[in-house]
Each structure stands twice: as C-alpha cells, then as structure tokens.
Structure 1
Amino acid sequence: MRFLSGIPASASGASTRLAFPRISFGRLSPRRMAATGPACSAADASYSSSAAAAAGGDQKPWLFVGLGNPGRMYKGTRHNVGFEMIDAIAEAEGISISNRQFKAMVGKGLIGDVPVMLAKPQTFMNASGESVGMLVSYFKIPLNQVVVIYDDLDLPFAKLHLLPKGGHGGHNGMRSVIHHFKNTRDFPRLRIGIGRPTGMLGAINFVLRSFSQQEQEELNSTFCKGLQAVRIMLLEGFNKSATFVNTPPPAEMLIK
C-alpha cells in the first residue's frame, strides 16, 4: 500500500548550511539510565549498572532519527509518532534536543556507556533524507548504527516492528532517506503502527489527524516498549532487541 505524506517536498524550502558547533557527549549514570518516568519505570527496572558497564568502549555514536513534520500544527498527529518516540527517549535519558544542526533538531548523550545522537529533521517529511544524509556523512556513522523511526499505516495501531533493513513501503520520508543514502536500504528501522483510516477518510487526512486521549495513552505504552528496545539494542545487540520487539506476547491464560 503506497503511503502519502500529504506535505509537498517543496514545502521544506531552501536553507543555507548551518554552522555545527562541536558538543561533547554527556555521561549518564546507570541510575539515571534506569529512571524513565512514571510510565516506564517499572518495566525498565531490570537495567542495572552491570549492564551499563558492559557497553563500554570507544565507538561511533548511534543515530536515532524520528521522522515527522515540524511546527505546532503537526504536533501530536499520526504522521509525527517518530518525533514523539525520539522525545520519549530524550526525556527518559535526560538528553536535551536543543541544537539545530544540519536541518535537524539534535541532542547528544549516552545510554549506558554508548554514545547516541537523537535527531528530528526539520525539512518536512518528504525531504527528511536531506538532513539524515548530512548527519550520517559528517559524523561518518555506519549505516547499521542509523535507526530511522516512523509511522506505518500497514501495522496495527500502537504495534512496533524492528527490522535491520528494507524498502520504503511507499512512505515518502523513508523514500527520501533511502535516496540520500544513494539508494542503500541496509539500515535499521523501527516502524510504529498507526492503523488505517475507516470509512471515506483518505490516507493523507488520516495521518495528519491527532490521537484521541485513549489512543495517546495506548501509544505511551508503545513508547515505553520502544525505549526498552533502544536500550536492549545498545547494551545487548540488535538481534536481541528485534526479538524483544517482534515476538508476540504469550496468549493470556484462560480463566476456567
């Protein structure tokens, strides 16, 4: 099923190359790493100082990119769940996303002892690859350490799916990212299901709609799981994270 952004690529406009101040990566203590706020704290209590220590060593940072559209009018819409997932990670890990760099809002920090960058491209969805491509090129980040997070019409609402590579699936933001990676598709992606429109509502109008209060509460649980997935990925490896995300939970015991 082709996925339309609803935002024309030309909406991003032209912009000059921004100056890029070098900022050192801040260090988070294992205690801070485990503190994720009221919604996620119980689920993430298993992350210990020993797990954090196991992730030591110098390496290129991991880049987590959430796709979305900038501006107040798009805040909280289905097309912006990538932004919301990045915000959830930043809040839980104490990373400030306050620097505008390479057409994106960027934050740097550590999860355990692993350096990470969190980015929200400000180019509008259809031109997301402009920003992501520059970040990856400047910091020479291996593509297997670039995780793109975005909304997916073909996944049930609030479900996650983590893959090591793949196509764009008709998603214009991912289409742009792949284009700016010189058509390379070998980079991880975390898809967040937003469900499909019902009745006469078209895909474009659907993805630009806000969530109901009940839907937002369900999404908050999804973001907690996404945060866990990120930590597992960094501290225990991508395969363990993919198993955690993609394995369906066991069926509930029937009460006789």
Structure 2
Amino acid sequence: MKMIVGLGNIGPQYDNTRHNTGFMVVDAFAQQHGIALTTRKMDARFGSGLVNGEKVLVVKPTTFMNESGRAVHPIMDYFKIDVADVMVVQDDMDLPLGRIRLRDHGSAGGHNGIKSIIAHVGTQNFGRLKVGIAHPQQHTVVDYVLGKFTTDQRPVFNQAADRAVAALDDWVAGSDFMQLMNQYN
C-alpha cells in the first residue's frame, strides 16, 4: 500500500491558501481517482482506493501543519506502511510558482510540517513532492503562506497541481524514482 499525505492547515480560513498546497493537490488526486476522504481518526481525514492496480491511502492530517507527524506516524503504524511507500505533498517557498520537485529523502528545509514528520517517524527517508509557491515579494512569510493565490497566480498553480497529480500517478504506478525526478523536476 502507498500512502500520500497532503500537508495543510484545517479550517475554512485556510482553504485555498498557499500553505494548503498539499491539501489541494491530494484533494485533486483523490477526486480524480474517486477516493473519498471520509474516515476521521488518528488526527487525520483519509480514504483509500485502487490506483493503477495499487492500493493507495490518501491522508490529510487534521492537526495543524506544524504537528503533521502526530497524524502521519500512527497511520503508518496502523496500516503497516513502510516509509519507502510514503509521499508527502508540501508547499515550497524556495521553488518558483508553478515548479514541482520530487525528492526521495532530505532535511526539512525549514518546513515545519516536514520537520514534525521527521521527528515522529524518526527518519528523513520518505518521498516529498514539493510544489513551488515562490518567495513573498511584499509580505511577511507568515502573511504570504497564509494568503490565497492571486488571480494571476492561480492558473500557474493549477498547472503545477495538475503536474503534481500526474507525478503522483506515476509514483503509484511504480515508476523509478530517479526517472520521476528527471521527468518532473
């Protein structure tokens, strides 16, 4: 079983904000594959389905972003999911808006949601799908990441989200990770 985790903050005030990029991408993936995220337990909303013949668990932690590991680790344990079968979808200010980047391991890079997952899971060796939101030009970091995409930014983000969903499809299908990085990065 593969596990795809989207990072974000819960609550309507955070809907469609840059920091909820992970939620938006996994919502699009789940919708495309008819996976309803209706189960609510272990500090998360999740659902499962078959994608490309592989069972996939799609997870949205209901903790706040900085506590995401509190949900991810117990779900991995409960479903006996190996860390190699986990992909976390996150926003990334160090990538230009519209770019995506796959990584098979690495540090948190300043992302508190990833930092929490590393602390709870005990390793950095899980997949990341980073979606670029760019650096703020005229806002503080907090105001920027908790702000919504502008009307000019939204189509660029939507294209990136579509590419991210395609990358997730290929990952679930068992594509070689190096090939995925070469194709999508």
Q: In 1, distance between residues paired with 2:88 and 2:170?
A: 16
Q: Is 1:208–2:146 an aligned residue pair?
A: yes
Q: CA deviation digits over 1:114-169, x for unaligned, max 9? A: 00000100000110000001111111111111001111111101210001100000
Aligned residue for 2:109, secondary structure, equals: coil
Provide the residue aligned with 2:136 in structure 1. 197
Instruction: Quote the offset at 1:239 in angstroms.
Output: 2.8
Given the alignment, which residue of 166, 190, 214 partners 2:106?
166
Q: Is 1:224–2:162 an aligned residue pair?
A: yes
Q: In 2, distance between residues paired with 1:93 and 1:244?
A: 22
Provide the residue aligned with 1:99 in structure 2. 39
Q: In 1, distance between residues paired with 2:31 and 2:180?
A: 20
Q: CA deviation digits over 1:183-222, x for unaligned, max 9? A: x1011101111001113x2111110001122322211111
Q: In 1, distance between residues paired with 2:43 and 2:120?
A: 14
Provide the residue aligned with 2:49 in structure 1. 109
CA RMSD of aligned residues (A): 1.0
Given the alignment, which residue of 162, 181, 184 partners 1:242?
181
Q: Is 1:71–2:11 an aligned residue pair?
A: yes
Structure 1 residues without counterparts, runs of 5 or longer: 1-60, 247-256
C-alpha change, 1:140 and 1:236, in structure 2 (3 Å) is: closer
Given the alignment, which residue of 187, 191, 206 partners 2:126?
187
Q: Where do 4+ consecutive residues of structure 1 move more than 3 Å?
A: none
More strand by share: 2
Provide the residue aligned with 1:12 in structure 2. none
Provide the residue aligned with 2:77 in structure 1. 137
Q: CA deviation digits over 1:229-256, x for unaligned, max 9? A: 112112242333222211xxxxxxxxxx
Structure number with larger C-alpha Rg: 1
Q: Is 1:233–1:240's contact at 8 Å kept on the other side of the alignment?
A: no
Q: In 2, distance between residues paired with 1:189 and 1:85?
A: 13
Structure 2 residues without counterparts, runs of 5 or longer: none
Which one scores higher on RCO, CA 8 angstroms, separation ≥ 6?
A: 2
